[in-house]
Amino acid sequence: MTEEPFLVPQDVYLKSGIHIGTKFRTRYMEQFIYKTRPDGLSVLNLSKINERIKVAASFLAQYEPKDILIVSRRENGWKSVKAFGEVTSCTIFAGRYPPGILTNPSLKTYREAKIILVTDSWPDRNAINDALKIGIPVIALCDTNNTSNNIDLVVPCNNKGKKSLGLFFWILAREYLLKCGLIKKPEDFKAKPEDFSEE
């Protein structure tokens, strides 16, 4: 078994802290945990993060941008999801997500979607519940403390850090555009990771 090549150099992943989990770990997330540090923080397995980002990009590439909804209740993810929306034309929802956006056409904020991606399954649970009601797949970024109920694809990562979320959405945007044939090679992606995250 050869290791999958990383989508970005390993040190870029490490600098963003995408692999740093929390002190709390759920049973479901144990399969993605590489080790627990002496200070009690769990560390996620970089190869598994990398592999799941690839799967998420392939999954999303089966959909038109207008059919994809990216949700982030957590403020640390707002800049990242907005940048993702700008470069991919996917629909984004940054902020408090009131129930019914996907299920109640009489709402001003009503959106149609065929798949959703949430940045954290706990604060974004209203969006997950809406997706369940209309039967569309859910991709969720999950830290070591998340549970995976009602999630079709878990992407393990630090879903709380601005740099981590910025790097995640930057890679996802590039891979999505590549898989959709909108750019030919990774170098054609002109956005930079810093455009996706706040300092």
**Rounded mean pLDDT of 154-178?**
97
Beta strands at 115-118 and 153-156: parallel, antiparallel or unpaired: unpaired
Mean pLDDT of the chain: 94
Both tokens assigned to 136: 């569309």
Residue type, 24: F
User: What are the phi and psi torsion angles at 97 (to 5°)?
Assistant: -95, 105
- Would you state the torsion angle of the CA atoms of residues 182, 48, 38, 77, taken in this order, to the nearest 10 degrees? 30
**Residue 40 in domain:** yes
Determine, yes or no, domain membership for 135: yes
**Amino acid 4: pLDDT:** 67
Give the C-alpha separation, 73 to 59, whole Å: 22
In a domain, 97, yes or no: yes
Mean pLDDT to the nearest integer, 26-38: 94
Who contacts 176 (Cβ-Cβ below 8 Å, separation ≥6)? 57, 60, 61, 88
CB 195 within 8 A of CB 173: no
Residue 198 lies in a domain: no
Q: Is residue 2 part of a domain?
A: no
| Confidence (pLDDT) at 133 | 96
CATH number of domain containing 148: 3.40.50.10490
Q: What is the pLDDT of residues 9-18, one digit of tens each?
A: 999 999 999 9
Cβ count within 10 A of residue 172 = 26
pLDDT digits (tens, 9 = 90+) for 89-105: 999 999 999 899 999 99
Instruction: Establish if 28 belongs to a structural domain.
Output: yes
At 170, the amino acid letter reads: W
Report residue 71: phi and psi, to 5°.
-120, 135
110 is in which domain, residue-wise? 11-193
- The total number of structural domains that make up the chain: 1
pTM metric for this prediction: 0.95
Query: What was the pLDDT predicted at 2?
Result: 54
pLDDT of res. 66: 96
Classify residue 100: in a domain, yes or no: yes
Does a structural domain hold residue 4?
no
114 pLDDT band (50/70/90 cuts)?
A: very high
